Structure 1
Amino acid sequence: MKCQNETVTVELKNGTIVHGTITSVSPQMNTAMRNVRMTVTGQEPLSLDSMNIRGSTIRYFLLPDSLPLDTLLIDDAPKPKNKARKEADRGGRGGRGGRGGRGRGRGRGRGRM
């Protein structure tokens, strides 16, 4: 994770402001933070050692100006090789794949005379 150990400010959808250091972020944008200072709207700030934020409650992240976004946005993860390509050839999960799968069936019946 590229933003690990960065100190950021997170605004939640309910207006709460959370300021702290990122420890991890999941693919669903769930964020774990440490050394947190949380300000709920209309209340005094609260200091916490650690905090987990559900990704669907986050409105936005305020990143520090010192963060080099141009280098962080480059996707340098290795590309998937054989297994992903084989699944794509046969249609991935479910369905009949590219060549008909188990059979095409006989349709809706032969009708009655």
Structure 2
Amino acid sequence: MKLNNETVTVELKNGSVVHGTLTGVDVQMNTHLKNVKLTSRNRDPTALDTLSIRGNNIRYIILPDALNLDALLVDDAPKPKGKKKEDARGRGRGRGTDRGRGRGPRGGRPRGR
């Protein structure tokens, strides 16, 4: 992850403010911090060694001003190489003919035949 070991401030939806060093973020935006100072509403700050925050509780994350966002936002991950198209026969649904019998008209089979 590009932001490992960056010091960030996280504001939570309940109004608490968390200040600490980022150790990881997963796909659900669950955020893991170390050397944390947690400031809850109307309470004294609490110092914690580590803290994990569930992603849906985060209102926003304040990044350091010295961070070069232009360099971080460049997608430098290797792109997966696709399979070569050697023979395209037998793939997809064809050219629009004979797509199966289906149910026919709305009423089903006509009666009396």
User: Scaled by the length of structure 2, what TM-score is found?
Assistant: 0.79
Other-structure match for 1:62: 62
**Residue 15 (structure 1) aligns with:** 15
Note the residue ranges of structure 1 that are not aligned, 5 or more in a row.
90-96
Q: CA deviation at 1:5?
A: 0.4
Determine whether 1:24 maps to 2:24. yes
For structure 2, which runs of at least 5 residues remain unmatched after alignment?
none
1:42 and 2:42 are equivalent in the alignment: yes
Rounded Cα–Cα distance in structure 1 between residues aligned with 2:74 and 2:21: 22
CA deviation after TM superposition for structure 1 residue 72, in Å: 0.3
Q: After the TM superposition, which segments of 4 or more aligned residues of structure 1 sit over 2 Å from their partners?
A: 109-112
SS in 2 for 1:49: strand
User: 1:22 & 1:98 partners in 2: Cα distance?
Assistant: 46
Alpha-carbon shift at residue 99 of structure 1 (Å)? 1.6
- Larger radius of gyration between Structure 1 and Structure 2: 2
> How many residues were matched structurally?
101
Compare the two structures and name the one with the higher helix fraction: 1
1:82 counterpart SS class? coil
Residue 93 of structure 2 contacts residue 99 of structure 2 at CA under 8 Å; is this kept in 1? no
Aligned to 2:21, the other structure's residue is in SS state: strand
User: Percent of aligned pairs with the same residue?
Assistant: 62
Partners of 1:105 and 1:20 lie apart in 2 by 60
